[in-house]
């Protein structure tokens, strides 16, 4: 696999890697705390936060690979994860508004990530745009 980097892929990619890293810690910390202190209160809600942490960790790995110029499967996996992440944010965000009793405490994806300034909603969109832009920058 050839490594290819450009200023565009380096700058935006590094920011995305940083944001993913912060969200791995935030989602894992929040879900671990909620599950440890009162798991019975809203187990599905808190489990979804744990899922968010896992997805952010996977996003961190694939975004790092793409940011470092790796092509092929890493790009495909990064795209699939970003789409899955967006679907989850939209589904959980909608469910948290329609069924507020199921989400008594804020989670990473509840209310479309409002507790995190809507970054969980914006992040997968930004990743998809970045991947599209990096494809153009790396095209022969």
Q: What is the pLDDT of residues 89-110, one digit of tens each?
A: 999 999 999 999 999 988 899 9
Opening angle at CA 48, ends 84 and 40, nearest 5: 165
pLDDT over 80 at 30, yes or no = yes
Residues 67 and 9: their CA atoms lie apart, in Å, by 6
**How far apart (Å, rounded) are the C-alpha atoms in residues 123 and 131?**
12
Q: How far apart, in Å, are the Cα atoms of 136 and each of 9, 17, 52, 108, 109?
A: 10, 20, 29, 32, 31
Helix axes 119-138, 7-38, angle to 10 degrees: 150
Q: What is the pLDDT of residues 37-61, one digit of tens each?
A: 988 888 888 999 999 999 999 999 9
Q: What is the model's pLDDT at position 135? A: 58
Q: Is pLDDT of 120 > 80?
A: yes
Structure tokens at 4: 């290819």
Of 7-11, 29-33, 64-68, 82-86, minimum mean pLDDT range: 7-11
pLDDT of residue 10: 62
Would you place residue 12 in the very low, low, confident or very high pLDDT band (cuts 50, 70, 90)? confident
At 133, is the pLDDT very low, low, confident or very high (cuts 50, 70, 90)?
confident
């Amino acid at each position: 696999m050839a490594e290819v980097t450009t200023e565009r892929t380096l700058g935006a990619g590094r920011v995305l890697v940083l944001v993913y890293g912060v969200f791995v810690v935030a989602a894992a910390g929040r879900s671990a705390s909620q599950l440890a202190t009162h798991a019975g209160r809203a187990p599905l809600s808190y489990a979804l936060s744990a899922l968010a942490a896992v997805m952010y960790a996977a996003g961190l790995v694939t975004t790092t690979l793409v940011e470092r110029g790796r092509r092929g499967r890493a790009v495909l996996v990064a795209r699939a994860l970003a789409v899955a992440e967006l679907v989850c944010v939209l589904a959980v965000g909608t469910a948290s508004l329609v069924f507020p009793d199921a989400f008594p405490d804020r989670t990473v994806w509840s209310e479309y990530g409002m507790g995190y300034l809507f970054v969980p909603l914006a992040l997968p969109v930004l990743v998809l745009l970045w991947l599209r832009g990096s494809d153009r920058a790396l095209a022969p």
